[in-house]
Amino acid sequence: MRKTYKLFIGGAFPRSESGRTYLVDGDNVALASRKDARDAVTAARKAQPKWAAATAYNRGQVLYRVAEMLEARRAEFAAVGVPAAEVDAAVDRWVWYAGWSDKITQVHGSANPVAGPYFNISAPEPTGVVAVVAPASFLGLVSVVAPAIVTGNTVVVLAGAPQAAITLAEVLATSDVPGGVVNLLTGDPAETAPWLASHDDVNGLDLTGVSDTALATELERTAAGSLKRVRRPAGTEIDFFADPGVKAMTAFLEIKTVWHTKGF
């Protein structure tokens, strides 16, 4: 049976409000508009405080559940052309990031020995709403979404591999990820990304999937208007099978330092 590939916003699967679709390998896929991008930001913003306030243990379990659901749907990814090795690696990647939820604070935070009678600690907190231009591969998509959300950010993703992305959305919708934490838009990033780069309620912009240098530069320049945290394209081909390190997480973390007086 042919499937309709719609958008994934706020936990629901709407068509593009523009009514537009485009053809991908014989499938009609929703072509997201500016309005869809704005709706997705609204959904991401609405979901963010609660997602960030969830315990790290809880977020870890939610990501682990995504891995379970993804593994159960291996055949569907094969059907849209994702190589089995990539699906396996994507499952492992969700598991890997799931485990980071309650470790990144210790690894990236610190107790600071200041020269005075003060309690002083630094801990990472999520940046907020992150817009992501995802790489074209499925593993690439998972490798930018999982690290952004595990720390408590919510995301609006412009997907490079539309059918695989929407199949992932179906995984997310049937796992325990709260609606709005991940929002997936299909279409032309050159059309929608500039709206996200200029959106004042977007705090971070991940350009990992932008291969057009001129577009990447323009998006980064636009993002400067509200001083978004920008993760630039790598500049070289990324091997998504390699150890991803922590930078994909730390790119969208803020360090908060809290001081308190000590005394009797």
Partner 1 sequence: MFEYAPAPESRSVVDIAGSYGLFIDGSFRESAAGSFKTVNPATEEVLAEVASAGVEEIDLAVAAARRAFGPWSALPGSERAKYLFRIARIIQERSRELAVLESLDNGKPIKESRDVDLPLVAAHFFHYAGWADKLKYAGFGADPRPLGVAAQVIPWNFPLLMLAWKVAPALATGNTVVLKPAETTPLSALFFADICRQADLPPGVVNIVTGAGDTGRALVEHPGVDKVAFTGSTEVGRQIARSVAGTRKRLTLELGGKAANIVFDDAPIDQAVEGIVNGIFFNQGHVCCAGSRLLVQESIRDELLESLKRRMATLRVGDPLDKNTDIGAINSAEQLDRIRTLADAGSAEGAERWSPPCELPGQGFWFAPTIFTGVTQAHRIAREEIFGPVLSVLTFRTPAEAIEKANNTPYGLSAGIWSDKGSLILAVADQLRAGVVWANTFNKFDPASPFGGYKESGYGREGGRHGLEAYLA
According to the binding rule CB under 8 A, does residue 217 interact with partner 1? Answer: yes
- What is the spatial distance between Cα 259 and Cα 124, in angstroms, rounded to a whole number? 15
Task: Please report whether residue 116 would count as binding partner 1 according to CB under 8 A.
Answer: yes
Which residue among 13, 15, 118, 194 contacts partner 1 (CB under 8 A)? 118
Residue 103 engages partner 1 in binding (rule: CB under 8 A) = no
**Least distance to partner 1, CB of residue 216, Å:** 7
- Return the residue of 1, 23, 227, 242 that touches partner 1, per CB under 8 A: 227
Binding partner 1 (rule: CB under 8 A), the pick from 25, 113, 236, 242 is 113
Beta bridge partners of 183: 156
- In angstroms, how far is the first alpha carbon of the chain from the final one? 72
What is the per-residue DSSP string for 146-207?
A: HHHHHTT-EEEEE-SSHHHHHHHHHHHHTTTPPTTSEEEE-S-HHHHHHHHHH-TT--EEE-
Residue of 72, 79, 85, 224 interacting with partner 1 (CB under 8 A): 224
Closest approach of partner 1 to the CB of residue 76, in Å: 38
Other CB atoms within 10 Å distance of the CB of residue 215: 18
Is residue 58 part of the contact set for partner 1 (CB under 8 A)?
no
In the region spanning residues 176 to 195, those forming contacts with partner 1, defined by CB under 8 A, are none
Decide whether 165 or 196 has the Cβ nearer to partner 1. Answer: 196
- Least spacing, CB of residue 153 vs partner 1, in Å: 13
- How many CA atoms are closer than 13 Å to the CA of 128, on its beta-carbon side? 14
Instruction: Report d(CA 78, CA 82) in Å as an integer.
Output: 5
If binding is defined by CB under 8 A, does position 236 make contact with partner 1?
no
Q: CA 85 → CA 68, 109, 134, distances in Å?
A: 16, 35, 19
Q: At 76, is the secondary structure helix, strand, or coil? A: helix
Binding site residues, partner 1, CB under 8 A: 107-108, 110, 112-116, 118, 120, 122, 127, 203, 213, 216-218, 220-221, 223-227, 229, 235, 254-261
